[in-house]
Chain A
Amino acid sequence: MPRAITLENLAKSYVVPVREAGVRAGVVSLFKRKTRKVEAVKEVSLSLEAGEIVGFLGPNGAGKTTTLKMLSGLLHPSAGSVTVLGHEPWRRENEFLRQITLVMGQRNQLIWDIPVLDSFDRNRVIYRLSRAEYRERVDDLTDLLELGHLLNKPVRNLSLGERMKCEVAAALLHHPRILFLDEPTLGLDVSMQRRLRSFIARYNKNTGASVLLTSHYMADVEALCPRVVVIHHGEILFDGKLAELIKRFSAQKTLVLEVDEDSGDLSRFGEVVSSEGGRVTLRVPKRDTAEVTARILRELTVHDLNVADPPIEEIIDQVFSGRMS
């Protein structure tokens, strides 16, 4: 399959003014500016095949959005190279812009004061869609995202979730081959998140578009992204299958037990995460799991036992906090 996106040693640094707090420091800074170089992204290399969905994970300030902005052409890289569909994004050639889209959660590109459909129509002209093509795509998106009753409302009268659905629809009218989705489900309720997720999956399947998605909701990543890239302090910590990430970074297993309520203190078996009635959750080192499980079964009356990986949030948190890397 052809490469849709290639980054080689991509870096972005900013020069930011530095000033201490206080009036004195403020006055001094009038005459003498101190600046500091911030490396938002350092030597990131990565590639995406056409049709791939990749989850881009990292804590706030890790460099995710900066990377997405370089990929979409909003930012000029400080070093390294980036190619998207054979184009250098920062040149923002029309041919390139017609094939990509960027959705940023909570930010809108729809026109505030006019009905959604009028904004859509404006995109029809900007992206040079024929009327037939346009009508077909609006109908499709209306079906998939259940937009019917929203199309004739001014954007300012929509709820956050409704607006987000319309934003996504507007961003996809021109059938982009590359989707950059920056926190597309931010602030949406659970059912709306689920609907948007299944829509993205379907769009990817139907059109073969590549998707690079950032999200703080692990449910998004688990549902959509077979492959994840973890970035921290501007560097890639991990690039591979989600299952591989769990295997590599999860050094512990979670044991959920149903035991008699009077089983006493269970901390001799491992870290007690929660204990409610007879239901106890323990965390034990992965290498000790078999031995601890055998001891529990030997020493306690166990009604039920379940061994699982810790929740993905926890693993990611461990990766970010540097405990496991």
Chain B
Amino acid sequence: MRSWLQVYPAFLRTALLSSIQYRASGAIWMIGSILEPLIYLTVWSTVARSQGGEVGGYTAQEFAAYYAILLLVNHLTFTWIMHEFQYRIQYGSLSFALLRPVHPIHADIAENIAFKAVQLVVILPGLILLCVAFRPHFEPVGWSLALFVPVLFFGFLLRFLIEWTLALGAFWTTRVTAMNQIYFSLLMFLSGRVAPISLLPLWVSDIAQNLPFYYAIGFPVELALGRLSPEAAMRGVLIQLVWLAVSGVGISLIWRRATKRFTAVGS
């Protein structure tokens, strides 16, 4: 077995132990993540009803299904790494991570997975409440649901690799917040979080379908809802894989340059 794979059980264990420490902050964090899709859902179902029951191919109940799945997909794919890197460099914890004979990304992946597992305890009741209140409607398709599992995992990896790479910007500038803001705006708009991308102007949705954001969030959601043809699904998986490969190469190139540049001043 590859040596870095062997560390995962231990990393998951310590991350899990850390995650369960802060129950209150975890719960508050989760309320925030449930509120976001709830707001968009309310807006879009109101719009759908005022437009005679449907907008952009979605009824109010289908919007409910879209945002219910989106809540789950966004929870399982989000990272907070971009907010953290700056502090790691400033306060020196990165130095210790660099001196361990394991690439620091593995501890981050493990921590992310452990945190999500713990937070599912809060997310699932939230999801159930949302379903009771908004009565989502969708017709599950067997193959779509089966494909959803690897697609969701690829979506997680894609978002993780992209955000980890962008977080490395902290090696060049200690103020990465501005860059993060641009990224999060693009992500909100082009991933399908604000609205399904089919609701965007055609040229915007064309762009979105070639950028990675949609393949991390909107694509898995639409697949789970059974709204994609087998061809569209396969094309989506291929694009996911291409972006994964690009991010993988990008991360290793940038990581090498970033650590060489790392001056560790004051840390």
A binds B: yes
| A194 contacts B by Cβ under 8 Å | no
Task: Tell whether A111 pairs with B14 under 8 Å between CB atoms, given A74-B98, A76-B260.
Answer: yes
Closest Cβ of chain B to A300, distance in Å, is 54
CB-CB contacts below 8 Å: B1-53 with A: 3, 6-7, 9-11, 13-14, 17-18, 21-22
Q: Which of A75, A98, A109, A113 contacts B17 (CB 8 A)?
A: A113
| A245 contacts B by Cβ under 8 Å | no
Task: Tell whether A14 pairs with B6 under 8 Å between CB atoms, given A113-B21, A118-B17.
Answer: no
**A127 and B99 contact, CB distance less than 8 A:** no
Closest Cβ of chain B to A30, distance in Å, is 14
- Chain B contact residues: over half helix, strand or loop, or mixed? helix
**B265 and A14 contact, CB distance less than 8 A:** yes
Give Cα distance in the complex from A119 to B14, angstroms. Answer: 7
Find chain A residues with CB under 8 A from B267 CB.
107
**B264 and A122 contact, CB distance less than 8 A:** no
**A75 and B263 contact, CB distance less than 8 A:** yes
| B184 contacts A by Cβ under 8 Å | no
What 1/0 flags go to A90-118 for Cβ under 8 Å of B?
Answer: 10101101101110100101011110001
Closest Cβ of chain A to B154, distance in Å, is 27
Task: Tell whether A74 pairs with B262 under 8 Å between CB atoms, given A114-B17, A126-B102.
Answer: yes
**A94 and B263 contact, CB distance less than 8 A:** no
Closest Cβ of chain A to B3, distance in Å, is 7
What 1/0 flags go to B76-115 for Cβ under 8 Å of A?
Answer: 0000000000000001110110111110000000000000
Please count how many residues in chain A sit with their CB below 8 Å of the partner chain's CB atoms. 33
| A128 contacts B by Cβ under 8 Å | yes
Give Cα distance in the complex from A69 to B263, angstroms. Answer: 9
| A73 contacts B by Cβ under 8 Å | yes
| A121 contacts B by Cβ under 8 Å | yes
Give Cα distance in the complex from A287 to B266, angstroms. Answer: 44
Task: Tell whether A114 pairs with B14 under 8 Å between CB atoms, given A74-B99, A109-B96, A126-B100.
Answer: yes
Give Cα distance in the complex from A102 to B97, angstroms. Answer: 11
Find chain B residues with CB under 8 A from A109 CB.
93, 96
**A125 and B18 contact, CB distance less than 8 A:** no
**Residue of B whose beta carbon sits closest to that of A40:** B265
**B3 and A128 contact, CB distance less than 8 A:** yes
Task: Tell whether A121 pairs with B10 under 8 Å between CB atoms, given A14-B263, A73-B99, A97-B99.
Answer: yes
**B6 and A98 contact, CB distance less than 8 A:** no
| A72 contacts B by Cβ under 8 Å | yes
> How many A-B pairs with Cβ below 8 Å?
81
**A127 and B101 contact, CB distance less than 8 A:** yes
**B101 and A126 contact, CB distance less than 8 A:** yes
**B10 and A125 contact, CB distance less than 8 A:** yes
**B92 and A107 contact, CB distance less than 8 A:** yes
Find chain A residues with CB under 8 A from B263 CB.
14, 75
Find chain B residues with CB under 8 A from A76 CB.
260, 262
**B264 and A75 contact, CB distance less than 8 A:** yes
Find chain A residues with CB under 8 A from B17 CB.
113-114, 118
**B14 and A104 contact, CB distance less than 8 A:** no
**A122 and B11 contact, CB distance less than 8 A:** yes
Give Cα distance in the complex from A147 to B260, angstroms. Answer: 37
**A102 and B99 contact, CB distance less than 8 A:** yes
Find chain A residues with CB under 8 A from B11 CB.
122, 125
Find chain A residues with CB under 8 A from B21 CB.
113-114, 154
Closest Cβ of chain A to B62, distance in Å, is 42
Find chain B residues with CB under 8 A from A112 CB.
18
Closest Cβ of chain A to B17, distance in Å, is 4
**B101 and A97 contact, CB distance less than 8 A:** yes
Find chain A residues with CB under 8 A from B18 CB.
111-114
CB-CB contacts below 8 Å: B205-262 with A: 259-260, 262
What 1/0 flags go to B37-77 for Cβ under 8 Å of A?
Answer: 00000000000000000000000000000000000000000
Find chain B residues with CB under 8 A from A102 CB.
95-96, 99
**A104 and B6 contact, CB distance less than 8 A:** no
Find chain A residues with CB under 8 A from B93 CB.
107, 109
Closest Cβ of chain B to A195, distance in Å, is 23
Give Cα distance in the complex from A95 to B3, angstroms. Answer: 12
Find chain B residues with CB under 8 A from A97 CB.
99-101
Find chain B residues with CB under 8 A from A111 CB.
14, 18
Give Cα distance in the complex from A107 to B92, angstroms. Answer: 8
Give Cα distance in the complex from A90 to B3, angstroms. Answer: 21
Minimum-distance CB pairs A-B, first 8: A125-B10, A94-B101, A109-B96, A97-B101, A113-B21, A114-B17, A113-B18, A74-B264
Other 14 A-B pairs with CB < 8 A, given A74-B99, A76-B260, A90-B260: A73-B98, A73-B99, A92-B99, A95-B101, A97-B100, A97-B101, A107-B91, A107-B92, A107-B267, A114-B14, A119-B14, A121-B10, A125-B9, A126-B102
Complex A-B: 9 CB contacts under 8 Å: A74-B99, A74-B264, A75-B263, A107-B91, A111-B14, A114-B14, A118-B13, A119-B14, A122-B11
List A residues at the B interface (Cβ < 8 Å).
14, 69, 72-76, 90, 92, 94-95, 97-98, 100-102, 104, 107, 109, 111-114, 118-119, 121-122, 124-128, 154
